[in-house]
């Protein structure tokens, strides 16, 4: 019932002609581990099915998936449009290595209708990159708008949503990217990235990925497949608990604002209802007491745990300003809405009322 673990990094050929066939075949999964692996292939097939894609390609991390996608599709002198609502590591990649390699990067506010399309330069823009919902404030981009952009390749980082909440390819987007370390694998014991889309595009990514070398481990891929087997039931409960916590926090006197697409007060709640089946397992909230209140909460939780990942069975809290977005300058943090009092919470599988009591104690 469970897929087999193929730990081998190299396979013996049957002779001269067979060795040549394997060495020159597209994604031969019994040749050399950097080219393909049967266990990794099982994970890729599962993700492709979930996303309604022709194919998928796994990587050793979400950043490996993003870096390979960008460097496959963009060359020196090309133009890339991205939203500012991105994970800090993605922003660092765009503003550092990409610009150093001569890729022209334009950053826009993805929550403004039409802003992404308006930034596209016909005949020059090669790639459009958005993240929705975004890290850490759960801001959204309109998937229909992104999918309708003609000319450049369109890429959506859908890590926070998982395929249980949304399928960007169904909106006309070319490629969907996940840090599968998070919700897809879902147990905090695998480091994976994955890209899904049309087979021709995925084959192009594979051709560069073999050289880039950010390949997925078969051990992690096996854990990724295991996580996918329970993805629907996990995210259904986690999303329901996240909604419960968001509504409770929204009434707490120590909290000034809650960022969660499932709340009617979220500025993009109508968009969330239109393009998401679940509102997600992650929420963020601003503490009225600023950094001191954030320290009190992080140090005071008992059931929830201070850690920076997301999507696993344990509820985690972090202070983005000093952890996930610490690499940004103060001005960049302010532009991304990362404030002194912002807390990001990824909801696990604990009882919702137990988590409320834990937060209530920590908030004082």
The residues carrying an active-site annotation are 34, 87, 157, 182
Burial of 9 (0-12, 13-18, 19+ CB in 10 A): exposed
Token readout for 301 is: 């939780």
The three-class DSSP label of residue 306 is: strand
Yes or no: say if 112 and 245 are a contact pair by the CB < 8 Å rule: no
Maximum Cα–Cα distance across the chain: 74
Token readout for 300 is: 């005071």
Q: List C-alpha distances in Å: 119 to 83, 132, 316.
A: 10, 18, 36
Burial 117-139 (b: 16+ CB within 10 A, else e): eebbeeeebbbbbbbbbbbbbbb
Asked if the peptide bond before residue 136 counts as cis, ω within 30 degrees of 0, the response is yes
The C-alpha angle with vertex 85 and arms to 79 and 86, in degrees rounded to 5, equals 75
Element (H, E) at 50: helix 38-51
Asked if the peptide bond before residue 53 counts as cis, ω within 30 degrees of 0, the response is no
Token readout for 255 is: 């909290």
Q: List C-alpha distances in Å: 253 to 32, 135, 137, 291.
A: 58, 25, 20, 16
């Amino acid at each position: 019932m469970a897929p087999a673990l193929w730990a081998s990094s190299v396979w013996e050929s049957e002779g001269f002609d067979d060795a040549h066939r394997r060495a020159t075949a597209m994604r031969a999964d019994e040749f050399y581990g950097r080219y393909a692996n049967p266990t990794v292939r099982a994970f890729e097939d599962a993700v492709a099915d979930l996303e309604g894609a022709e194919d998928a390609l796994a990587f050793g991390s979400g950043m490996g998936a993003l870096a390979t996608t960008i460097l496959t599709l963009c060359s020196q002198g090309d133009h890339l449009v991205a939203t500012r609502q991105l994970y800090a590591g993605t922003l660092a990649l765009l503003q550092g290595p990409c610009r150093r390699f001569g890729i022209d990067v334009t950053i826009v506010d993805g929550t403004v209708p039409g802003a992404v399309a308006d930034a596209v330069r016909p005949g020059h823009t090669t790639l459009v990159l958005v993240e929705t919902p975004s890290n850490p404030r759960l801001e959204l981009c309109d998937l229909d708008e992104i999918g309708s952009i003609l000319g450049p390749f369109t890429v959506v980082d859908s890590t926070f949503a998982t395929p249980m909440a949304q399928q960007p390819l169904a909106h006309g987007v070319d490629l969907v990217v996940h840090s599968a370390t998070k919700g897809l694998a879902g147990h905090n014991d695998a480091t994976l990235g994955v890209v899904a889309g049309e087979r021709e595009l995925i084959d192009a990514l594979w051709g560069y990925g073999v050289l880039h070398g950010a390949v997925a481990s078969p051990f992690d891929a096996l854990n990724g497949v295991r996580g996918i087997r329970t993805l629907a039931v996990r995210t259904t409960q986690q999303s329901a608990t996240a909604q419960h916590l968001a509504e409770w926090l929204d009434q707490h006197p120590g909290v000034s604002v809650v960022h969660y697409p499932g709340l009617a007060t979220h500025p993009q709640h109508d968009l969330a209802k239109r393009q998401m089946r679940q509102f997600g397992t992650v929420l963020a909230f601003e503490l009225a007491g600023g950094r001191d209140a954030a320290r009190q909460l992080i140090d005071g939780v008992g059931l929830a745990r201070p850690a920076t990942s997301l999507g696993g069975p344990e509820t985690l809290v972090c202070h983005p300003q000093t952890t996930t977005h610490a690499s940004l300058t103060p001005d960049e943090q302010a532009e991304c809405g990362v404030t002194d009092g912002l807390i990001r919470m990824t909801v696990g599988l604990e009882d919702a009322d137990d988590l409320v009591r834990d937060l209530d104690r920590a908030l004082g």
